[in-house]
Structure 1
Amino acid sequence: MEQVAVIGAGSFGTSLANVLADKGLQVDLYARREELVREINEQHTNRHYLPEVSIHPGVRASANLSDVLKGKKWVLIVTPSSAFRETLRAMRPHLDPEASVAHGTKGFDLETGQRMTQVMEDELPELDKSRFAVVSGPSHAEEVSQRIPTTVVVASRRQSTAEGFQDLLMTSYLRVYTNPDVIGTEVGGTLKNIIALGVGMCDGLGFGDNAKAALMTRGLTEISRLGVHLGASHLTFGGLSGVGDLIATCTSKHSRNWRAGYALGQGKPLDEVLEQMGMVVEGVRATKAAYQIAGEQGIDMPITKAIYHVLFEGLSPKAAVEELMTRRKVHEMEEVAEAVSLKWDLP
């Protein structure tokens, strides 16, 4: 029987542990807090992150990383981006040198601007980098836990690694695709949270479907622009980790980023919003990181810039929308027009 370690007992980590246990696999789930470990093992619940969800009795929680990782050939890391590097450092002495390691963390490292697999390469130098992967796509943990049909993508530099995690995770309600574009998969999964904040603000302001559709569409252009600059394939952003995840995160009641944006649009200050959420809102950190990267790389990201000004410089959401609407005139698809020499029939 396959033995799997899941690092991180938040909503998505717990839901993936449930999926794996559903398949009859032996699953060890790492949680930092002893009280959560006891709740999962004794009551088979995780009320803070997944209320009303029953955790499979085959999931064994522990606060001891050594116990969780011992002998595991398959490891899934699902922690907030803020804790990712620290978690890897704690894991390093206990990892099997032949382990394949995938992450489901949607964010950048704020200090370095690195993607999560780049952080893995830094912090786990003994492991074969081709055994690293990322799991992404439109996959709200609440729906996965209820066995509602969901699709995700696993990206890795090595085909056998991606297909290994594909086989590991695939069920009748979780369909898994593969992709060799690690950069695009990570960038899409991270930047869509920024756009979801913006869409939430529009909804909080009482704007309609026109504004929401425009923000999502132009947001996807912005995501692609940065992703391609970093080395991603443009095609990846038309897939599950691009437009798929963007739609789910911008339109779902389960989306923390949309809910946070909605509250901001209604005039609540950021500190109060984050306190009331009680869970990590990755889009806030992603906005700061993407704003820094775009500035350093000279990438035009007007939506990210406007949301950054709202979050960190006191600009009102309404003023941010006006700022976006009155930008200089541009061609709808600037990069495409330039690349394929699109021309008007008449001047």
Structure 2
Amino acid sequence: MTDVSVLGAGSWGTALATLLCNKGKKVKIWARSEATSQEINTEHTNKKYLPGANLPLSLECDTDLERVVSGSEVIVLSLPSHTVKDYLEQIKPLLNESTVIVNTAKGFDVGTLQRLSQVAATVLPGSENNFAMLSGPSHAEEVVKQMPTAVVSASKSKKTAEFVQDLFICSSFRVYTNPDLVGVELGGALKNVIALGTGISDGLGFGDNTKAAFIARGIAEIGRLGVAMGGNPLTFAGLSGVGDLIVTCTSAHSRNRRAGICIGSGKTLNQTLEEVGMVVEGVNATKAAYKLAQQYQVEMPIVEELYSILFADQEASSAVRNLMERVKTNEMEDIGLAGDLWENN
């Protein structure tokens, strides 16, 4: 039996812990809140994050990080991306050379612009081959109800990717492996930025045409930056790219989309974050994407306009006008296919 520690008793951490318990794994989950810990242990529910879900009786929750992590073979990080570095530093003394780290957070370290695998490699030197990213279109609310879901396990190590695949895969949760860790991480982080934008579109009262255009142009921007940073372009056409983008941009479960709706409806960023009540990864991801686009000299007009809305008080309606009135271009050239593609000039 594999001993697994899940750090983070939010919706996704709780859903994954439930899935693993149902597979017969011994699972401990760490919660920051004593009230949440008591609820999981005594009532076997987590009403704040997964209302209506009945959790396994075997799932143990604790607020003591050392008790949760010590002796575990696998650590699953289901934490806000901006806290990953801090918690890795805290658990570092409790890990050994064979501990597998499975990250599910989708974001960047905003201060350094590092992907989270790079953060882990900095904090835990030599751990690169024991690190995997689990990502894809996977709302916790549906996974805990055992609705069919497909994700990817990405790692520099084929052995680790396949280990994580075997750990999580079941009849309702299909796991593919992918060697492109860079692309999978970037797809997961950047789709939150585009989801904020589609939410803003909804908040402004626009329709399906606008949303479809935003998603299509969004994946083009994700792909441009992703390839510039070393990702495989095919990854962005897969589950952790366009798959995750679609679900995050269209679902009522998406907190990034909900945040965008609030902003499009006229609320400030602070009012929006207070109303959503949970971490909105797309906010920090927008800041990181804006800086990375400058660093890699990649054109990302959607990201630029979203950055101006969030951090420079630009009106959302003005941002839409700026995007629609940009200099005309050729779509194929714009997504990176160079050369004259016309048969007849």
Question: What is the TM-score when the length of structure 1 is the normalising length?
Answer: 0.97
Q: Which residue of 2 aligns with 1:30?
A: 30
| Counterpart Cα distance in 1 of 2:263 and 2:127 | 43
For the pair 1:163 / 2:162, whether they are aligned, the reply is yes
Q: Which residue of 2 aligns with 1:48?
A: 48
Q: Which residue of 2 aligns with 1:209?
A: 208
Q: Which moved more, 1:205-214 or 1:327-336?
A: 327-336
Q: Which residue of 1 aligns with 2:301?
A: 302
Q: Which residue of 2 aligns with 1:344?
A: 342
Are the aligned partners of 1:6 and 1:27 in contact in 2 as well (CA < 8 Å)?
A: yes
Are the aligned partners of 1:65 and 1:94 in contact in 2 as well (CA < 8 Å)?
A: no
Q: Which residue of 2 aligns with 1:112?
A: 112
Amino acid in structure 2 at the alignment position of 1:42? T
Q: Which residue of 1 aligns with 2:4?
A: 4
Q: Which moved more, 1:71-80 or 1:219-228?
A: 71-80
Q: Which residue of 2 aligns with 1:67?
A: 67
Q: Which residue of 2 aligns with 1:147?
A: 146
| Counterpart Cα distance in 1 of 2:236 and 2:187 | 6
| Counterpart Cα distance in 2 of 1:337 and 1:142 | 37
Q: Which residue of 1 aligns with 2:91?
A: 91
Amino acid in structure 1 at the alignment position of 2:332? M
| Counterpart Cα distance in 2 of 1:316 and 1:21 | 47
Q: How far off its partner does 1:97 sit?
A: 2.3
Amino acid in structure 1 at the alignment position of 2:148? P
| Counterpart Cα distance in 2 of 1:129 and 1:201 | 38
| Counterpart Cα distance in 2 of 1:156 and 1:258 | 28
| Counterpart Cα distance in 1 of 2:337 and 2:257 | 33
Q: Secondary structure at the match of 2:76?
A: strand
Q: Which residue of 2 aligns with 1:246?
A: 245
| Counterpart Cα distance in 2 of 1:7 and 1:97 | 19
Are the aligned partners of 1:152 and 1:176 in contact in 2 as well (CA < 8 Å)?
A: yes
Q: Map Cα deviations across residues 58-105 of structure 1 (whole Å, 9 max, x no partner).
A: 111111222212221111111001211111111101113211111000
Change (3 A) 1:118 1:18: same
Change (3 A) 1:337 1:156: closer
* Runs of 4+ residues deviating >3 angstroms: 335-339
Gaps of 5+ in 1: none
Are the aligned partners of 2:224 and 2:336 in contact in 1 as well (CA < 8 Å)?
A: no
Q: How far off its partner does 1:335 sit?
A: 5.8
What value does the CA root-mean-square deviation take over the aligned residues?
1.1
Q: Which moved more, 1:225-234 or 1:46-55?
A: 46-55
| Counterpart Cα distance in 2 of 1:160 and 1:335 | 37
Q: Report percent identity of matched pairs.
A: 49
Matches for 1:204-243 after TM superposition, within 5 Å: 204-243=203-242
Question: What is the TM-score when the length of structure 2 is the normalising length?
Answer: 0.98
| Counterpart Cα distance in 1 of 2:242 and 2:137 | 9
Q: How far off its partner does 1:337 sit?
A: 5.7
Q: Secondary structure at the match of 1:4?
A: strand
Q: How far off its partner does 1:342 sit?
A: 4.2
Change (3 A) 1:115 1:67: same
Q: Secondary structure at the match of 2:108?
A: coil
How many residues align? The count is 345
| Counterpart Cα distance in 2 of 1:246 and 1:310 | 21
Q: Map Cα deviations across residues 16-71 of structure 1 (whole Å, 9 max, x no partner).
A: 00000001110011112222111111111111111111111111111122221222
Q: Secondary structure at the match of 2:252?
A: coil
| Counterpart Cα distance in 1 of 2:9 and 2:261 | 26
Q: Secondary structure at the match of 1:29?
A: strand
Q: How far off its partner does 1:130 sit?
A: 0.7
Q: Map Cα deviations across residues 301-346 of structure 1 (whole Å, 9 max, x no partner).
A: 100000111111111111111000011112212266644x342123
